[in-house]
């Protein structure tokens, strides 16, 4: 057995904060599982410097966490702020939030991720250089949907994904811009929305119908684009699955525990129903209204279940809940291998500890935080029982503690995020497009326009209406229906496929909400927000939504208009979290289950399959990946693999 240490640092994220270390058996072409480490190399500090600020400021602060999907954090925060202030938006406010979010984060981001960030790894120059037999087969294989997208052979699709010169790459530059424009009509700017407020949105609706028509003009073009892009990627992904056995490469979540330690997928749900969300706490209609945070929390489940993309947890293949509240109750966070200090000994001194203690550490629905298994959790982590859910985010305190990196000790700025279920099962879990589609496919779902359907059997169906644009062939104009049976497990190629299908659902969401917004405006309803008041007492909030790369979760505690605590789980927080007694995170598990397919000498390997696996979760602005090869402690060489950041052109 010949082993080689491979360090890929950084793997592309927005600031290049992510890296991967594996020791590969070059004969088996796989990593030794116990050597896999994914690690985040920079501390951000948003949970620290947000303290003491007004809750309504936080959507504008936390959007700066990400320069691509900033609206995702802003929307999670504004939902948490809706809750701590007890003020739901008007129906129009909900519709406008949905419309903007569908565009500036989802359709825009999926376009650049699928084509400009992940796409180059499947482009002709890369595939021909590193897996020549695959490229030769692509030159000879007809694309099934060539009559729609116009690419005759699979190799033509690979050509189109080539940065700068490829047709799909060039079209993506234009269509991602259209998506941003549509969202900016409502948000005021991208990627940090300026119009989100508790209880609604402050978009200028002086000429509302004209504004909505401008949105629809872009939506028509993006509908055609979604058809065109999906059919091309459908052929590419099917080629890798059916002809080259790539379906299982990079497996993360799997229902079989012998295959993966990632035992669950979670979705927070996406795109609130305007009438349902606006009526939380007995509000509804268009008048001023507010309620207590407890009543808002009690209403969040029924509202979340009406989201177009559904909330819930699939645990080892079974849908165990569709409840927003049960999902948040189930999560906990610790720092065994992360550069932070434990805070468990300090929780009883927190000003809001007593508020939770007097309820028996239950939420307003009577669910015990972490299902009452807090002593089991703390004893496993720290060897001590605290008699309180010290690792639930409402009681978490962020205490950064930078130290030297140790593969067996602390090696990352990402914390451990885990899920505990009612029966005591504790597991790492996955979020992202695959998780969203999997959870939604296990529940009945539909929309008001008849464009989207799930019968709960695992299959999703989307119909996109007639839509043309001069940049694309006329073959995409006609109404098209797409179906996808969501696979039982998450892998590199299935995460990409889920993202592509998810974009179709996002287009449906945009059509549903612009239609509702037009109805409201034409009936004389142009009020998009409600005023809020700052409760003098301690109140709690939790905001779950979906970024393109997975569930964003923000927990907030406030008193008299000042934030006492804010805890943020970005999608990557859990996906990249370090290993512990309960298993490996999705990133690390996907590396364990990656087989190297490069057809070159091991000393010339670039880490293509590992980077494909990681990028399929959550790439942002791709700049470069530095690949370092180490054997017997000696650096053999380094490769700088340029991807591109020119989608800003």
Tell me what pLDDT residue 490 has: 98
- Give the alpha-carbon dihedral of 434, 435, 437, 441, to 10 degrees: 130
480 phi and psi angles, rounded to 5 deg: -135, 145
Tell me what pLDDT residue 634 has: 47
Measured distance CA(421)–CA(205) in Å, rounded:
45
In a domain, 171, yes or no: yes
CB 277 within 8 A of CB 543: no
The closest of 46, 4, 47 to 27, measured between CA atoms, is: 4
125 phi and psi angles, rounded to 5 deg: -60, -40
In a domain, 372, yes or no: no
The closest of 387, 406, 403 to 341, measured between CA atoms, is: 403
In a domain, 412, yes or no: no
64-112 pLDDT, tens digit each: 877 777 899 999 999 999 999 999 999 999 999 999 999 999 999 999 9
Measured distance CA(172)–CA(152) in Å, rounded:
20
In a domain, 59, yes or no: yes
Instruction: State the pTM of this model.
Output: 0.92
CB 36 within 8 A of CB 411: no
Q: What is the full DSSP assignment across 24-38?
A: EETTTTEE-GGG-EE
327-366 pLDDT, tens digit each: 999 999 999 988 889 999 999 999 999 999 999 999 999 9
Tell me the residue range of the domain where 545 lies.
3-327+429-648
489 phi and psi angles, rounded to 5 deg: -140, 165
CB 544 within 8 A of CB 268: yes
Measured distance CA(209)–CA(330) in Å, rounded:
43
pLDDT along the chain (649 residues), means of 10: 68 52 76 69 68 91 80 94 98 98 95 94 96 98 98 98 97 97 95 94 96 98 98 98 98 98 98 98 92 98 98 98 98 92 93 96 98 97 95 91 85 90 98 98 97 97 98 97 98 98 98 98 96 97 96 96 93 88 93 94 89 79 32 43 29
> Residue for token digits 């406008």?
96
Residue 201 pairs in a beta bridge with: 196
In a domain, 335, yes or no: no
In a domain, 440, yes or no: yes
Q: Which helix (H) or strand (E) holds 136?
A: helix 132-140
Tell me what pLDDT residue 76 has: 95
238-268 pLDDT, tens digit each: 999 999 999 999 999 999 999 999 999 999 9
In a domain, 378, yes or no: no
Tell me what pLDDT residue 123 has: 97
The closest of 194, 208, 204, 87 to 525, measured between CA atoms, is: 208
Structure token digits, residue 540: 């709690």
Tell me what pLDDT residue 566 has: 92
Q: Which helix (H) or strand (E) holds 611?
A: helix 608-615
Number of domains in the chain: 1
- Helix%, strand%, coil% for the chain, nearest 5: 40, 20, 35
> Residue for token digits 């808002």?
296
CB 307 within 8 A of CB 408: no
**CATH number of domain containing 555:** 1.10.645.10
In a domain, 552, yes or no: yes
């Amino acid at each position: 057995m010949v082993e080689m240490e491979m360090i890929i640092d950084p793997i592309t994220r927005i600031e290049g904060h992510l890296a991967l270390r594996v020791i590969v058996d070059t004969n088996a072409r796989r990593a030794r599982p116990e050597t896999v480490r994914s690690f985040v190399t920079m501390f951000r500090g948003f949970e620290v410097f947000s303290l003491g600020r007004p809750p309504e400021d936080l959507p504008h602060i936390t959007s700066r966490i990400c320069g691509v999907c900033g609206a995702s954090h802003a929307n999670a925060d504004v939902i948490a702020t809706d809750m701590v202030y007890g003020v739901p938006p008007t129906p129009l406010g909900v519709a406008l939030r949905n419309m903007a979010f569908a565009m500036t984060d989802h359709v825009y981001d999926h376009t650049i991720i699928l084509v400009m960030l992940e796409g180059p790894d499947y482009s002709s120059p890369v595939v021909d250089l590193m897996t020549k037999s695959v490229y030769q087969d692509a030159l000879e294989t007809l694309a099934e949907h060539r009559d729609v997208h116009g690419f005759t052979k699979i190799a033509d699709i690979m050509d189109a994904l080539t940065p700068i010169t490829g047709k799909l790459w060039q079209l993506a530059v234009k269509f991602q811009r259209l998506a941003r424009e549509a969202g900016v009509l409502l948000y005021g700017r991208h990627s940090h929305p300026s119009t989100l407020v508790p209880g609604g949105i402050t978009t200028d609706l002086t000429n509302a119908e004209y504004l909505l028509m401008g949105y629809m003009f872009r939506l028509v073009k993006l509908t055609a684009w979604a058809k065109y892009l999906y059919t091309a990627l459908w052929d590419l992904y099917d080629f890798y699955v059916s002809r080259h056995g790539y379906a299982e490469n990079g497996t993360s979540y799997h229902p079989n525990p012998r295959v993966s330690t990632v035992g669950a997928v979670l979705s927070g749900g996406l795109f609130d129903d305007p009438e349902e969300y606006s009526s939380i706490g007995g509000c509804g209609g268009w008048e001023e209204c507010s309620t207590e945070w407890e009543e808002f929390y009690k209403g969040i489940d029924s509202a979340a279940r009406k989201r177009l993309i559904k909330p819930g947890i699939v645990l080892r293949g079974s849908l165990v809940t569709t409840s927003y509240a049960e999902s948040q109750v189930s999560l906990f966070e610790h720092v065994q291998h992360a550069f932070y200090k434990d805070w468990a000994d300090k929780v009883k001194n927190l000003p809001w500890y007593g508020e939770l203690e007097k309820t028996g550490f239950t939420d307003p629905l009577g669910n015990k935080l972490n299902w009452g298994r807090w002593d089991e959790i703390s004893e496993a982590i720290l060897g001590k029982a605290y008699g309180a859910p010290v690792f639930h985010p409402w009681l978490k305190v962020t205490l950064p503690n930078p130290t030297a990196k140790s593969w067996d000790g602390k090696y990352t700025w990402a914390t451990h995020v885990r899920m505990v279920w009612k029966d005591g099962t504790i597991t790492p879990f996955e979020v992202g497009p695959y998780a969203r589609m999997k959870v939604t496919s296990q529940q009945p779902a539909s929309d008001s326009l008849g464009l989207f359907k799930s019968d709960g059997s695992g299959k999703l169906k989307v119909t996109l209406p007639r839509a043309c644009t001069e940049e694309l062939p006329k073959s995409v104009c006609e109404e098209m229906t797409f179906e996808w049976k969501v696979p039982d497990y998450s892998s590199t190629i299935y995460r990409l496929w889920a993202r592509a299908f998810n974009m179709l659902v996002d287009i449906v969401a945009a059509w549903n909400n612009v239609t509702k917004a037009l109805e409201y405006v034409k009936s004389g309803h142009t009020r998009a927000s409600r005023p809020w008041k700052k409760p003098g007492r301690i109140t709690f909030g939790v905001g779950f939504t979906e970024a393109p790369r997975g569930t964003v979760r923000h927990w907030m505690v406030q008193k008299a208009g000042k934030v006492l605590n804010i805890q943020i789980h970005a999608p990557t927080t859990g996906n990249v979290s370090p290993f512990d007694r309960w298993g490996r995170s999705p990133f690390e598990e996907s590396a364990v289950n990656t087989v190297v397919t490069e057809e070159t000498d091991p000393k010339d390997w670039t880490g293509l399959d590992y980077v494909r696996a990681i990028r399929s979760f959550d790439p942002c602005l791709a700049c470069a990946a530095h690949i370092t090869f180490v054997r017997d402690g000696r650096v053999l060489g380094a490769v700088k693999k340029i991807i591109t950041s020119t989608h800003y052109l």
